[in-house]
Amino acid sequence: MATIIRMQSQLRKKLFSAGILTACIICFTLLQGYWALWPYSDGISSSCMECSFFGDLFSASALPLVATGLLHLIYWRLKPRLILKTIFCVVTLMLCWYAIDTTIFDEREASWSTYDSIWYVGILVCILQTSIFGLLFGVVYYFLGRRLN
């Protein structure tokens, strides 16, 4: 009986941590996107003339959720150490955020202008924000992981 109660408690902790991580991913995606792309938020999207900036960011937050979800399926199988999990999650999120920011920058600014290298300009637009929010997410992820073990 005590084993079942312990397992239920562990499951509650894992579900609580998963909820916090999901909320962090969505919130951090929106916050870093707003911060990085605020100068282009009033621009019209070249792919959808009626789409709002917030709508673009919110729908794009599915990409990091799916990416980290797939990464956790791999973790479930391989069981790496917590520090490696943290590093891989942070790098995955930062790459997703870079792709999201560059795509939105392309739709709202670069499609209406001439840019030689959108990916280079994209990195200049979002490097500070992705680094700061990546570090914040790494801290949250690491401490939640330590709490579970």
Q: Is residue 93 very low, low, confident or very high in pLDDT (cuts 50, 70, 90)?
A: very high
The answer to whether position 15 is within a domain reads no
Q: What confidence tens digit (pLDDT) does each residue in 41-90 have?
A: 887 777 777 888 888 888 888 888 888 888 888 887 788 898 998 999 99
Asked if residue 106 is part of any domain, the answer here is yes
Domain count, the chain: 1
Give a yes or no: residue 102 inside a domain: yes
Does residue 10 form part of some domain? no
Residue 13 lies in a domain: no
pLDDT of residue 1: 67
Show the domain range for 100.
20-41+48-148
User: 104 lies in a domain?
Assistant: yes
Higher pLDDT, 5 or 28: 28
Q: What is the mean pLDDT of residues 119-137?
A: 90
Single-letter amino acid, residue 98: Y
Long-range CB pairs of 87-92 (<8 Å, 24+ gap) are 87/138, 89/137, 89/138, 89/141, 90/134, 90/135, 90/137, 90/138, 90/141, 91/134, 92/64, 92/67, 92/68
The reported pTM is 0.84
